[in-house]
Amino acid sequence: METQSDNLVRAARLDEVRAAGRISVRLAGRSLALFFHDGKVYAVDNRCPHMGFPLHRGTVQDGILTCHWHHARFDLESGGTFDQFADEARVFPVEIRDGEVWVDLTARGDQLNHQRQRLLDGLERNISLVLAKSTIGLLGGGEDPAEPFRAGLDFGARYRRAGWGQGLTIHACMMNLLLYLAPEDRPRALYHGLSAVSRDCAGEPPRFILRPLPSTTADLATLKLWFRRFVEVRDAEGAERCIVSAVRAGANHLQMADMLFAAATDHRYLDVGHVLDFTNKALEALDVAGWSYAEPVLASLSRGYAGATRMEESNSWRNPVDLVEILEDAFEKLSSALDSGRHRGDGRWEGREELASVVLGEDPRAIASALLEALREGATEEELAQAVAYAAALRIARFPTTNEFGDWNTALHTFTFANAVHQGLRRTPSQELLRGVFDAAMSVHLDRFLNIPPTRLPEPDGLETVPEELLAKLPALLDERQQVDAAGGLVARYLYSGEDADRLLALLGALLLREDRNFHTIQAIEAAFSQHASLRGTVAGTHVLVAAARYLAAHCPTMRSQGQTYDIARRLSRGEILHEE
C-alpha cells in the first residue's frame, strides 16, 4: 500500500483514530499526535513546544488542547498558544483518503523570523526559557550574534524609564566576551545578556525619548556646553535633549564620547564610577549595534548623569586629607604636563610597574605628582590610564579573604571605573577625560585598607606543569566555596608555564556563564579580559587574570538556576526527551 505521496504521508486508519480519540504515531522520524475532535482529525507535533511532554497525553476540550505537564494550552486547529511561556504548537494539514489519515509534513516556513519574534516575546514578558530557546535557535540557524544583541539593546533603551542600568551593562559585557568564548558558549552569553535586560525592564514604565531641538544654529561645542551645564544643575531632561540634538545634528561616536566623558569627569568619581562605566559600555554597544541606535541608547544615560552622587560631597574624599583639593591642583597642571611630554617626542615610556607601585602607596600627593611626572616623561593618556587600571587590578589580586565579603565590591568599583577610563581614552583622548585617571588613582589610594595584609602574588615556582591538568582542575575548584587563593595560584601557574592564554580565557568565560548572573562578577571578568588584551604575555597581564580568577572564585558557586534553564532549552533544541529518565 502506498504510504507517501508528495509531502503527504499515511499516518493511520481513520476508524482507529476515531475509536481511540487520540493516538501517537511516528512519521519520518517525527512523533505526531492525532486527535479526533468534533468529527475531524487534527495532527500536532507530539512534543509540547514548552518542554517536550507528549501532547497525546493531554486533554482536548472545546477545541483547546492542554498539556498536562505545565498546563500550556493550545488551539487544536492552528496550534496557537494561550500561554506565552510555551510556543506555538506545530500543526500539520490532514487529508482523509479512502478511510486513511494522511498528514502533510511540508517543512515550516522561515524559522529565523519565528525565532526573532519569540525573542521579542521573551524580552517583553521576562521569560528566560523563551529567550534561551530563541537565542539557541537563531545562532544555530546562522544568525549573526549582533542581531539578537541589537534587539536587546533597543528594548532595554526604550522600556526602562530609569534608563541605562545593570541589565544593559551586563548585555554589553556579554557581547564583549563573545570573541573569547568557545562557539558553543556564545549563545549562553547572549542568553544571559538578554535575560538581564528583560529582568531589568520587567514591571518598569517605558521611556519616552525626547525629540531633538526643532531648529537651532547651535554647533556641537555649544551643545556640549549646554549638556555639561544641565548635568551640573541635575536637569536630566535638558541633558537628554542636548544628547539627541547632537546625534541628530550628525555628531559621530568620537564627538559624542568627548561630550559625554567631559561631563562624566566634571565631578569626582560619579556614583562610585558607574556613570563613566555605563557610558563606556553604551559606546561599546553602539560599536556592535551601529550608530543608528545612538539616540535611544545615549539618551538613556541622562538620568544617571543628573542624579549621580559626587564624591567631592563625601567625607572619605575630604577627610582626613582633602583629595579633591589635591586633584584640583593637579588638574591645573595637566596642560603643561601634556605639553612637556609631547615635546620629548621619543614615544617611549616604560614606567607602568613603577607608577602602579606609587599609586598603591600611602601618599595621595605623591600619587598625583607621579601621574603628572609620567605625563611630562612622555606617557600618553592611554598609557597613564593603563598603569592605574593595573594598580586597581592588583588591589583585587592582593585582596585577603579576611576582609568583609562586601569589600570585594569596593575594589571592583575602582577597577571597572579605571578600565572604563582607559577604554575611553583609547577611543578619544582628551584632557577632560584624563581627569578620570586621577580620580581612579585616588580611589585606588582609598582602597588601600583592602590590602592589609596583602595577599602574596603567585610567582613562578619552577615546577613542571601539565597545562591540560591545570585547566581540568579549575571547574571542580569553583564547585567549592572560597577557593580564592587556589584559583589565583592555578591561573598563575598556567600562564607562567608559557601556555596560550586563549584557552584559559575561554574557560574562565565558560565558568562565569555557568553561574547565576552577578552584576559585579560579570563586570570584573569583562574588565579583566579587556585589560589583558593589551597586556598579553606580560607579568602584569598574568596579575590581571589572577585578579579575575580570584574574584570569580570568591563568588562561586551560585545556585546555577539560570544555567539550568539554558540547559533545558539546549536539550530541547537537540530533540532530547526531558520527561523520561
DSSP string, 107-175: PPS-HHHHHHHHHHHHHHHT-HHHHHHHHHHHHHTT--THHHHHHHHHHHHHS-TT-S-HHHHHHHHHH
Distance CA 54, CA 579 (A): 9
DSSP 79: -
pLDDT of amino acid 464:
75
CA atoms 568, 573, 579, 581: torsion sign: negative
Distance CA 399, CA 533 (A): 23
Distance CA 506, CA 214 (A): 49
Total residues belonging to the chain = 581
Distance CA 60, CA 79 (A): 13
Distance CA 422, CA 441 (A): 12
pLDDT in tens, the chain (581 residues): 455 556 899 999 999 999 999 999 999 888 999 999 999 999 999 999 999 999 999 999 999 999 999 999 999 999 999 999 999 999 999 999 999 999 999 887 788 999 999 999 999 999 999 999 999 999 999 999 999 999 999 999 999 999 999 999 999 999 999 999 999 999 999 999 999 999 999 999 999 999 999 987 789 999 999 999 999 999 999 999 999 999 999 999 999 999 999 999 999 999 999 999 999 999 999 999 999 999 999 999 999 999 999 999 999 999 999 999 999 999 999 999 999 998 876 668 999 999 999 999 999 999 999 999 999 999 999 999 999 999 999 999 999 999 999 999 999 999 999 999 999 999 999 999 999 999 999 999 999 999 999 999 999 987 778 889 999 999 999 999 999 999 999 999 999 998 889 999 999 999 999 999 999 999 999 999 999 999 999 999 999 999 999 999 999 999 999 999 999 999 999 888 777 64
Q: Minimal CA–CA distance to 438: which of 387, 401, 479, 475?
A: 387
| Residue pair 168/200 in contact by the 8 Å Cβ criterion | yes
pLDDT of amino acid 436:
98
What stretches of 214-316 show up as alpha helix (H) in DSSP? 220-232, 236-248, 253-264, 274-289, 294-299, 302-307
CA atoms 208, 209, 210, 212: torsion sign: negative
Distance CA 169, CA 192 (A): 11
* Cβ neighbours, 10 Å, residue 225: 15
CA atoms 425, 210, 303, 325: torsion sign: positive
| Residue pair 264/270 in contact by the 8 Å Cβ criterion | yes
Q: Which residues are CB-contacts of 18 (< 8 A; sequence separation ≥ 6)?
A: 36
pLDDT of amino acid 581:
45
pLDDT of amino acid 561:
96
Distance CA 328, CA 435 (A): 9
Q: Minimal CA–CA distance to 518: which of 122, 192, 124?
A: 192
Q: If you compute the radius of gyration of the chain from its CA atoms, what whole number of angstroms results?
A: 29
DSSP 96: E
Query: What is the pTM for the complete model shown?
Result: 0.94
Q: Minimal CA–CA distance to 245: which of 225, 215, 206?
A: 215
CA–CA–CA angle 560, 565, 566 (5° rounding):
95
Distance CA 556, CA 487 (A): 11
480 conformational bin, left if phi > 0, alpha if psi -120 to 50, beta if neither: beta
What are the phi and psi torsion angles at 41 (to 5°)? -105, 135
pLDDT of amino acid 577:
79
What are the phi and psi torsion angles at 54 (to 5°)? -65, 120
